[in-house]
Structure 1
């Protein structure tokens, strides 16, 4: 197995819950393993604690940068055709040489642990300004 690095944790609100997401990644960006935890307050019966989740259901989590900075948000897949729930969508930097990186968009399936590359025009070498935007369902 190649060298691994740890990323996160991200703090994100999702459906009224507070989640943290962290991950392991191979240096080459070919392998990912995500860890999702939900904050439970204990309903007055003890101290708050983090509970590991094995699914996020219909939710999709979006992360701007896997190094633990940038912004993160959550959406319901049922509100957006063509997107799959129980997935983490993230922008990543893959080293291309000792001097450069390529920024790519990936999707991690929480259920089966697989990561897929999403080919878009936004996957660009040494392009710093890739970012998610937050869609709105409100009409003006």
Structure 2
């Protein structure tokens, strides 16, 4: 499971066991037992074992009646479990004690305080005119970038070419809007930052720390089929936000994958 910064998150389904594994050093940290259905990785901070940052997973209760948000606290070495009536799923975000999740039916974004376990904001989606793209299916990611939460919509399907992929990006403004209500504000640049998206999740880095990467870009994995009956292949792609243009990159993999920030620690 990923992305996970220094680690890959391993899940042993028969015994409901999660582990953090560094594939370069071989370091493995086994986490406590957690009973969660359909687990998905939401967030792993840089070196959570040393920094004390939590590991955040989402999923469902055993009867699938409630959503479960689970935070592993490295200091206490235990899981904190929060149950909510909404469904937790792929492409949610966590930052600074707040969990951000999109409602499937309404498109609203709930902001949940993981300490008080209360919903502190319900933010409506951007207007349809800001979020549409010629009828192409949209996949929505919530991604933390430099202290902000972004709503990143990838307009794509398996039958269109890479060049036809397009993104709409909004930043969550908790301090403004009509009546002072939180709202999504459309943006056209992320500066020297880079977004990395896989099929399930996303995270950000600064190109100043990583030579060879281009800022104001989105690196993403696209699935493509020549025909509806053909098995899809995956392509590593880069989207230039300023030029609104996507291009495929050289990649040896054809079966998908995820991102990891390698570390020798």
TM over 0.5: yes
> Residues 139 and 156 of structure 2 are in contact (CA less than 8 Å); yes or no, is this contact kept in structure 1?
no
Q: What's the secondary structure of 1:107's corresponding residue?
A: strand
Runs ≥4 residues deviating over 4 A:
none
Corresponding residue for 1:18? 149
> Residues 236 and 250 of structure 2 are in contact (CA less than 8 Å); yes or no, is this contact kept in structure 1?
yes
> Residues 139 and 155 of structure 2 are in contact (CA less than 8 Å); yes or no, is this contact kept in structure 1?
no
Match of 2:169 among 24, 33, 36: 36
Structure ranking higher on relative contact order (CA contacts 8 Å, 6+ apart):
1
> Residues 108 and 116 of structure 1 are in contact (CA less than 8 Å); yes or no, is this contact kept in structure 2?
yes
Q: 1:4 to 1:103 in 2, by over 3 A?
A: farther
2:261 corresponds to 1:134: yes
Corresponding residue for 1:73? 203
Q: Aligned equivalents of 1:54 and 1:133: distance in 2? A: 27
Corresponding residue for 1:51? 185
Q: Aligned equivalents of 1:20 and 1:131: distance in 2? A: 20
Q: Aligned equivalents of 2:174 and 2:204: distance in 1? A: 21
Aligned pairs, how many?
128
Structure 1 residues 56-65 or 22-31, which shifts more? 22-31
Match of 1:5 among 136, 156, 176: 136
Q: Alpha-carbon deviations, 1:89-122, whole Å to 9, x = none?
A: 0001001331311100000000001111101112
> Residues 64 and 132 of structure 1 are in contact (CA less than 8 Å); yes or no, is this contact kept in structure 2?
yes
Length-normalised TM-score, structure 2? 0.45
Structure 1, unaligned runs of 5 or more: none
1:34, distance to aligned residue in structure 2 (A): 0.6
Going by fraction, where is strand more abundant, 1 or 2?
Answer: 1
Q: Aligned equivalents of 1:116 and 1:43: distance in 2? A: 36
> Residues 6 and 22 of structure 1 are in contact (CA less than 8 Å); yes or no, is this contact kept in structure 2?
no
Structure 2, unaligned runs of 5 or more: 1-133
Corresponding residue for 1:116? 247
Structure label with greater radius of gyration: 2
1:4, distance to aligned residue in structure 2 (A): 5.0
Q: What's the secondary structure of 1:42's corresponding residue?
A: coil
Q: Aligned equivalents of 2:176 and 2:243: distance in 1? A: 32
> Residues 176 and 183 of structure 2 are in contact (CA less than 8 Å); yes or no, is this contact kept in structure 1?
no
Corresponding residue for 2:194? 60
